[in-house]
Amino acid sequence: MTGILKVIHGSISVQSYTMKQPPHFTGEQNVKILGSKKPFQDVYPAVKHPCVKVTSSDPACIVTPDSHNLHEISSVGGLAAFLDILSPPYGIDQRNGEERDCHYYEEINVPLKNDMLPSDSVLLIKVPTPLEFWCDQAEYKGPPVTIREFVNGQNNS
């Protein structure tokens, strides 16, 4: 999924991660990485990128399937609003029946048993969707838009 995030009011902080390969560890691998049996089913290694502050005067942030593909957005100093264009969108693709769900992760802070992961890695686990989360979507019916037209320089989140 590719995303274009443009702040239209206020300012936000964006903490992003890039999921590493292999995509996750289970069972015995968890024991090797964490040093003991933990109550986590799947552990996902990811690179944690520096947190960035973005305002309405900044260019849009870009996320791609391979870079900055997990992100947390928080308002800074008051109300903020942003437009988030995702392609393809969440939901079921009517053409091929593919489902694209929104997942939530939490960074776990545990000492690693050995050097199975590079030093720039953190570990994430899936968590339930927050109760206060809501998302709305609408079909775009305007003229064709390219990333180059939308973004004034690239600002990866």
- What would the two tokens of residue 63 be? 């996320």
Name residue 92's beta-bridge partners: 99
pTM here? Answer: 0.72
pLDDT at 18: 92
> Beta-carbon neighbour count of residue 118 at 10 Å?
9
On the CB side of 121, how many CA atoms lie within 13 Å of its CA?
Answer: 22
Q: How far apart are CA 121 and CA 95, in angstroms?
A: 36
Which residue shows structure tokens 């944690």? 48
pLDDT digits (tens, 9 = 90+) for 45-63: 899 999 999 999 999 998 8
Mean pLDDT of the chain: 78
In the predicted model, is pLDDT for residue 121 greater than 50?
yes
Any alpha helices (H) in the chain, and if so which ranges? Answer: 27-34, 147-150
The pLDDT confidence band at residue 95, using thresholds 50, 70 and 90, is low
In the predicted model, is pLDDT for residue 135 greater than 80?
no
